[in-house]
Structure 1
């Protein structure tokens, strides 16, 4: 039966003599409902028992239509604004009626189809958030892409926000996110706002050498160390640790980069991002700050009388004189007077290699690697060439980019007039021995004169001294002990073009002990070395033996026991030094 029929049956049962209590129990309703049906039937008849709306005749707290229209208009004009932001803008613009609650604004948006109703996630109060107590206590820095240029390139943005206030302190567009570009952006922010107590970054190579093979110290770490900033790093693959700067990146993409056409140049992109940064800091309320503006909570650091310390190479690019770490020198009583005509000037100066391994002298950089960090390097420099020496041993020679003015300035800054160059520029006499330092690669190849030469797997990864003496090529190890001698594969013209070659020193010392190699005895009891076959006995088949090569003989040992000795009849060089991997033993058939 329908609802009306059920109510009519209940009324008939009461009129037939049943009690209201029994009828209410039989139909599963309250006694008040049965009395209400009786009243409706007496007043309106059967039509009064039809189902009716429960809507109240009036709603004094209903949202004013003008306010509801204003809510919808704000949402349509700004599709990314939620209920919190719309409510904030209503209060700032002047609401034509009573200001509704946030949930009322949300229901209005849902009712008009401007917001999709989604299942509720965790409450905001359930999230554990951390925030520093005051501004300038911690900055978060990172790098973000997505800045498309008209020529097809993609620029990067070096960003930084203050942890307490969410104030954007850095938003610099760079063509490439190199370590120097990141440090320049940081230096500009330090000059404008002061020095924070801590800096939090991820493990990018621009910020740290934590995961670099050579270790050392990058320029970013050096700036932090010299200015008393504690540099903190996140755990690997933990982007939520720098969640505030990541949330700034999301706002930057949504509100500017995603809908903006490609920029004509880096300068145009910087101008647009500067405008967004001003809006973000001063006009855009932040929900995490209870709809306050970041600029209201940010206070730059007061001056403490300590000047900003920057590396000399970075300070020159930043447009300010560098602050020396050591006490400043007294000014010269006599100014440096440059000669009227260019003269040949050679200078020797001693410098300490920084932690990054990249030594800079008068604007020219010399890469030495983090392995030489902290060592004193002597530079012999003139206007054409620079020699770098460690304890009297030349490490490398590079072309000079130093002008006469810079050479005279090095003399005035504590340099000394140089003697003769460590390597004569005169061409070497044909047939004289030359030496050069090289590293054998992982496959046992030596790079020399533009070609790869096989020298043996057993020397892979070693740093050796290569000595080319007439028709022989010697490989020398520590203390100039001869590791191996090979026929010289280079012509006289190729020898003269070897990079970083120097005149040969004294003759190498012979090896302390004969060279030993390994061989696996075949199933017929023989081994092969330098294409010479040696029979050692079928009783040793399958075993790995050691062969000691002498000038005229081969001695074969099995566990330090001499088992064979053969006269050397081959003139071939030994090229294999390790035995092949033994085959797994075969299972014996069961009897």
Structure 2
């Protein structure tokens, strides 16, 4: 398809060529009439002589041969290392003594899946599923997080000036993420015992209920808190089915695992806090931004609130 400023369409090329070939117009006269250069007029006239009307279509600009293209043998070695070792282009390039850009181009040319899209254990592409409605499945998990000593850690004072972390302790953000909308409920608690996890779920379930979401299933890992009778009875009382991930397969609970990573990158380690309390004070604002304003790539750039019409303060 010709670009918007092209002086000739396929029909215009055919008319120009016929004027030169069939009507005997000089090239300069035809070029002036159709407002192109004599060189262009000659090219379309020559193609018409050789191919007729079929020669008036655009041709691919791809070269017929690529003398500087990576040899096939090298391409096969790159692909073999990628498949067997699941390395990125930089490591492959160092092993094979190539430029990393060369390895990257070969991987892209053969459309090999990015490492982030592969299962680490099997090397197979990850099949991503999404529940059709909010509440069908909620992912629950806990992230252990080291507390910040008063005065700040090494990000504020540097490695040498930073006080020892001994005695500072840990925080335990408990997180619940809806599979369909990615709407998240999170609390920073002091431990990960079964009583704490069960009480957290009661508040999380209430949060989803206020948003108009009826939770049907909950997916957790195989931690002892989630295998306890207290946890089982709490879910049964609310008519919620409990599902657990396969052992040693955290990607099964991938949506909350991804939320954990976002939580670390965009809140916990986003800036150099001077105290643990300062970091905790920033948490409610960050969580509100995540639910209501932060664009989510899996939601085509929209925030989780866009999939939960009944969520209060949706546009605040």
TM-score by length of 2: 0.51
Cα distance in 2 between the residues matched to 1:260 and 1:207:
33
1:146 deviates by 2.2
Cα distance in 1 between the residues matched to 2:309 and 2:246:
29
1:253 deviates by 1.0
More strand per residue: 1 or 2?
1
Cα distance in 1 between the residues matched to 2:234 and 2:304:
27
Say if 1:259 and 1:291 are closer, same or farther in 2 by CA, change over 3 A.
closer
Residue 248 of structure 2 aligns to a residue in which SS? coil
Aligned 8 A contact 2:147 2:276 in 1:
no
Cα distance in 2 between the residues matched to 1:244 and 1:177:
20
Aligned 8 A contact 1:147 1:262 in 2:
no
Unmatched segments (≥5 aa) in structure 2? 1-38, 40-99, 119-124, 151-167, 312-316
| Alignment correspondent of 2:113 | 122
Aligned 8 A contact 1:172 1:270 in 2:
no
Aligned 8 A contact 1:147 1:257 in 2:
no
Q: 1:200 aligns with which of 202, 216, 219?
A: 219
Cα distance in 2 between the residues matched to 1:147 and 1:261:
14
1:265 deviates by 4.6
| Alignment correspondent of 1:167 | 183
1:133 deviates by 0.5
Cα distance in 2 between the residues matched to 1:134 and 1:155:
32
User: Higher relative CO (CA 8 A, sep ≥ 6), structure 1 or 2?
Assistant: 2
| Alignment correspondent of 1:137 | 136
Equivalent positions of 1:546-557 (< 5 A) are: none
1:190 deviates by 1.8
Equivalent positions of 1:175-186 (< 5 A) are: 175-186=190-201
Aligned residues: 178
TM-score by length of 1: 0.28
Q: Is 1:245 aligned to residue 256 of structure 2? A: yes
| Alignment correspondent of 1:227 | 238
Aligned 8 A contact 2:137 2:216 in 1:
yes
Say if 1:242 and 1:300 are closer, same or farther in 2 by CA, change over 3 A.
farther
| Alignment correspondent of 2:56 | none
| Alignment correspondent of 1:279 | 289
Equivalent positions of 1:309-324 (< 5 A) are: none
Equivalent positions of 1:28-47 (< 5 A) are: none
The superposition leaves residues 126-157 of structure 1 with CA deviations (integer Å, 9 ceiling, x where unpaired) of 64211111001110000012242326222110
Unmatched segments (≥5 aa) in structure 1? 1-31, 33-115, 210-216, 302-591
Equivalent positions of 1:81-120 (< 5 A) are: 119=104, 120=108
Say if 1:234 and 1:161 are closer, same or farther in 2 by CA, change over 3 A.
same
Cα distance in 2 between the residues matched to 1:146 and 1:275:
19
Cα distance in 1 between the residues matched to 2:299 and 2:180:
9
| Alignment correspondent of 2:172 | 156
Equivalent positions of 1:321-360 (< 5 A) are: none
Aligned 8 A contact 2:145 2:170 in 1:
yes
Say if 1:230 and 1:280 are closer, same or farther in 2 by CA, change over 3 A.
same
Say if 1:161 and 1:283 are closer, same or farther in 2 by CA, change over 3 A.
same
Say if 1:174 and 1:269 are closer, same or farther in 2 by CA, change over 3 A.
farther
1:299 deviates by 4.9
More helix per residue: 1 or 2?
2
| Alignment correspondent of 2:33 | none
Say if 1:146 and 1:226 are closer, same or farther in 2 by CA, change over 3 A.
same
| Alignment correspondent of 2:302 | 292
The superposition leaves residues 379-398 of structure 1 with CA deviations (integer Å, 9 ceiling, x where unpaired) of xxxxxxxxxxxxxxxxxxxx
Q: Is 1:191 aligned to residue 206 of structure 2? A: yes
Say if 1:260 and 1:202 are closer, same or farther in 2 by CA, change over 3 A.
same
Cα distance in 2 between the residues matched to 1:287 and 1:259:
20
Say if 1:198 and 1:247 are closer, same or farther in 2 by CA, change over 3 A.
same
1:300 deviates by 5.8
Cα distance in 2 between the residues matched to 1:182 and 1:300:
26
Residue 143 of structure 2 aligns to a residue in which SS? strand
Residue 219 of structure 2 aligns to a residue in which SS? strand
- Rg comparison, structure with higher value: 1
Cα distance in 1 between the residues matched to 2:258 and 2:206:
25
Cα distance in 2 between the residues matched to 1:261 and 1:175:
22
Say if 1:178 and 1:263 are closer, same or farther in 2 by CA, change over 3 A.
farther
1:193 deviates by 2.0
Residue 206 of structure 1 aligns to a residue in which SS? helix
| Alignment correspondent of 1:521 | none
Equivalent positions of 1:364-443 (< 5 A) are: none
Cα distance in 2 between the residues matched to 1:221 and 1:161:
19
Cα distance in 2 between the residues matched to 1:163 and 1:134:
8
